[in-house]
């Protein structure tokens, strides 16, 4: 069974549901404290999947994910890159996404280029919501046909099947000039659909991936849509829909399937 490392640290609080989602999708999951990983970055080599969970790392002091990123950047960037080069899928919802963009894991090098040896400066950011307010709600989402993301690829979701919850105060996707490049490179993994953009994100971007498609960062929480009773309108849905795999769980299954193939290949 593939094994997933779930990174926890001070203020992270979505670690347990992220572990549950991996387990439901057929992986083992182990919570590992950042202080352990900083002491021994090679721990990452033992795992086939990685989750950077949501929460308020270090209280989101200064801004979301900033302190965690400052602690992780130099020590852990090479270890993460070697995991990606090994074919390890990584998911980073919410605070994980905010951290991933600040330690150089997203959006990563352009397609065909290799990872720089040290963490590059951030080129995208998650800014305070345009309302300046934390918001918890479900959003309609869409998955671009051309995405390279191995987590969301092939998930042909629409209507009530294509929803995910958000819960954040700093999720407004901001990019210098990267949006065109990301779109052209198939690196947009999830968009808010219609007018359902909860935070004012540029281009309705909810999540992006690296050029390999292995690393997914997104503001919505797929780990909170692994059962139909999570759905905000489940009491109104047809019984037949309730037999399908919920979108969030389908994403984890995609990655676990990929990791299983990877494990078998080695």
Write out the residues near another protein by the rule CB under 8 A. 8, 10-11, 13-14, 16-17, 20-21, 33, 35-36, 54-56, 58-63, 66-67, 70-71, 102, 121-125, 127-138, 165, 167, 172, 174-176, 200, 221, 223-224, 226-227, 229-230, 232-233, 235-236
d(CA 119, CA 234): 43
Length of the chain: 266
State in angstroms the smallest separation of the CB of 155 from another protein: 19
DSSP structure string for 203-246:
GGEEEEE-TTS-EEEESS-GGG-SSGGGSTTGGGS-TTGGGSPP
Active-site residue, 223 included:
yes
Instruction: Please say which residue, 191 or 224, places its beta carbon nearer to another protein.
Output: 224
State in angstroms the smallest separation of the CB of 262 from another protein: 26
d(CA 231, CA 258): 26
Catalytic residue (one of 142, 193, 223, 230):
223
State in angstroms the smallest separation of the CB of 126 from another protein: 9
d(CA 254, CA 252): 5
The β-bridge relationship of strands 188-192 and 28-33 is: unpaired
Active-site residue, 221 included:
yes
Give 105: exposed, middle or buried? Use CB within 10 Å, 0-12, 13-18, 19+: buried
Question: Largest Cα–Cα distance of the chain, in whole Å?
Answer: 52
Catalytic residue (one of 14, 193, 209, 221):
221
Catalytic residue (one of 14, 94, 139, 149):
94
State in angstroms the smallest separation of the CB of 266 from another protein: 30
Cα-trace Rg, the chain: 17
Instruction: Please say which residue, 88 or 167, places its beta carbon nearer to another protein.
Output: 167
User: Annotated active-site positions, please?
Assistant: 94, 221, 223
């Amino acid at each position: 069974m593939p094994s997933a490392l779930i990174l926890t640290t001070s203020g992270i609080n979505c670690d347990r549901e992220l572990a549950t989602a991996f387990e439901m999708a057929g992986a083992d999951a182990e919570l590992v404290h950042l202080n352990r990983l900083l002491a021994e970055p090679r721990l990452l080599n033992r795992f086939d999947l990685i989750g950077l969970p949501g929460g308020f790392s270090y209280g989101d002091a200064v801004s979301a994910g900033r302190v965690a990123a400052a602690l992780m950047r130099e020590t852990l960037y090479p270890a993460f890159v070697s995991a990606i080069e090994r074919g390890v899928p990584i998911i980073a919802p919410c605070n994980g996404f905010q951290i991933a963009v600040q330690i150089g894991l997203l959006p990563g090098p352009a397609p065909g280029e290799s990872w720089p040896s040290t963490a590059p400066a951030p080129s995208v950011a998650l800014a305070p919501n345009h309302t300046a307010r934390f918001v918890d709600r479900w959003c309609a989402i869409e998955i671009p046909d051309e995405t390279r993301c191995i987590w969301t690829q092939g998930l042909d979701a629409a209507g009530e099947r294509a929803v995910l919850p958000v819960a954040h105060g700093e999720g407004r996707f901001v990019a210098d000039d990267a949006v065109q490049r990301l779109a052209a490179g198939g690196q947009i993994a999830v968009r808010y659909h219609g007018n359902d953009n909860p935070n004012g994100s540029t281009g309705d971007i909810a999540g992006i991936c690296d050029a390999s498609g292995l690393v997914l960062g997104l503001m919505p929480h797929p780990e909170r849509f692994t059962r139909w009773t999570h759905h905000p309108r489940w009491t109104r849905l047809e019984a037949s829909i309730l037999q399908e795999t919920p979108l969030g769980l389908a994403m984890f299954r995609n990655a676990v399937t990929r990791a299983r193939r990877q494990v078998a290949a080695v």
